[in-house]
Amino acid sequence: MRKLILPALAALVLAAPAAAAKAPLVVAMKDPGCHWFHVGGKYTLSVTRHGPVTLLNQDEAALKIKGPSGTKIDKIGAKVTLRAKGTYRITMVGQAPDDNHLTLKIS
């Protein structure tokens, strides 16, 4: 009986990390303020995450992401993965000064 249980238990332990993959962090279009993080059905201007973060741009324009690893451009509908720990400032390319400025902290 133990010979059957141990391999099954080992298979479950090895499969768990694959099932726990994080969904991308969505940047979505919403008025007022233009772009927001869309998290758990709510909109927010700042988010703190642990480990690598994949951003999914569902805004109306490309996003400019400034952070510890330099400046990146995330095109419409594209994903970009941020691995360096620190604070990222996210703005829309060519945005008006009064539009939202998003903050992402990765620890």
Q: Which DSSP string do the residues of 17-65 spell out, in sequence order? A: HHHTPPPPEEEEE-SSSSEEEEETTEEESEEEE-S-EEEEEESSS-EEE
Inside any domain, residue 51: yes
pLDDT (tens digit per residue) in 36-81: 999 999 999 999 999 999 999 999 899 999 999 899 999 999 999 9
Inside any domain, residue 8: no
Range of the domain at 77: 22-106
In the chain, the number of structural domains is 1
The torsion of the CA quartet 18, 68, 24, 44, rounded to 10 degrees, works out to: 140
Inside any domain, residue 1: no
pTM of the model: 0.78
Q: What is the CATH number of the domain that holds 62?
A: 2.60.40
Across the range 80-84, mean pLDDT stands at 96
SS3 content of the chain, % helix, strand, coil (to 5): 15, 45, 35
Inside any domain, residue 46: yes
Inside any domain, residue 15: no
Inside any domain, residue 36: yes
pLDDT (tens digit per residue) in 17-45: 544 468 999 999 998 778 999 999 999 99
Inside any domain, residue 2: no
DSSP annotation of 9:
H
94/58 Cα distance (integer angstroms): 16
